Structure 1
Amino acid sequence: MTIQLTTAARDRMRDFLARSGAAAGVRFGIRRTGCSGFGYTVDLAESVGENDHVFDDDGVRLVVDAKWLPFIDGTEIDYQRQGLNANFVFRNPNATGECGCGESFTVDPAA
């Protein structure tokens, strides 16, 4: 199981972590939302639970609830700036479709 960060995403997460002080890492996951079913979440992880899997990417700890791993295994997280907008971008090999605005995605329920 892997989650990969681009250099830009890793730098942005390091910035978040440096400002937080006490965070255990960055929590990456999904939630049910949007017109396609799931949306990505990126937050500071206050702690690491017994059901969490921790990925280390060059010193950045990504904390992922094990129940979401089948949906996001192999995802690459990037951070992009376009004009006044900046956001994380996700390249998920498990996504079988996305909504028109790109805010949510679907996965094959049989997977």
Structure 2
Amino acid sequence: MEQPIDLSPSAANRVATIAAKQGRDPALRLAVEGGGCSGFQYRFDLAGEIEGDDIVVERDGVKLVVDSVSLDLVRGSVVDFVESLGGASFQVTNPNAASGCGCGSSFSI
């Protein structure tokens, strides 16, 4: 069965590194909120609690946690960690996004 969302090996490695430094479980929460320059924006945080309606996928011992409402907006996406001359960040490749902004953290449907 295909996962509803995926975490790249690079993102899993980065989450594991951050969580180890903070002494926390390696679990990244992705949420979608209203706002940003395109209508919706992504929010990343280490997941504290996993709620009953959360979707959890796992790669290399690292969990990606998404609430059921946000999942409707990011289904089929891949969460990656990208390092470039401009900096390093988590990025979402979202097949549902009709457009996005230059910062890569907001999108519209």
Range into which the TM-score falls when normalised by the shorter chain: 0.7 to 0.9
SS of residue matched to 1:105: strand
Contact 1:24 1:46 in 2 (8 A): no
The offset of 1:24, in angstroms, is 6.7
CA distance in 2, matches of 1:70, 1:44: 21
CA distance in 1, matches of 2:26, 2:8: 20
Q: What's the Cα RMSD here?
A: 1.7
The offset of 1:53, in angstroms, is 1.5
- Mark the CA change 1:81 to 1:47 in structure 2 (over 3 Å): closer, same or farther: same
Q: Which amino acid letter does the alignment assign opposite residue 87 of structure 1?
A: S
Residue matched to 1:68 = 70
- Mark the CA change 1:62 to 1:97 in structure 2 (over 3 Å): closer, same or farther: same
Q: Give the alignment's TM-score, normalised by structure 2.
A: 0.86
Residue matched to 2:46 = 44
Match of 2:83 among 81, 91, 99: 81
Matched, 1:93 2:89: no
Q: Give the alignment's TM-score, normalised by structure 1.
A: 0.84
Q: Which amino acid letter does the alignment assign opposite residue 50 of structure 1?
A: G
Q: Which amino acid letter does the alignment assign opposite residue 75 of structure 1?
A: S
Identity %: 37
SS of residue matched to 1:95: coil
The offset of 1:39, in angstroms, is 0.9
Paired positions, count: 107
The offset of 1:84, in angstroms, is 5.5
The offset of 1:31, in angstroms, is 1.1
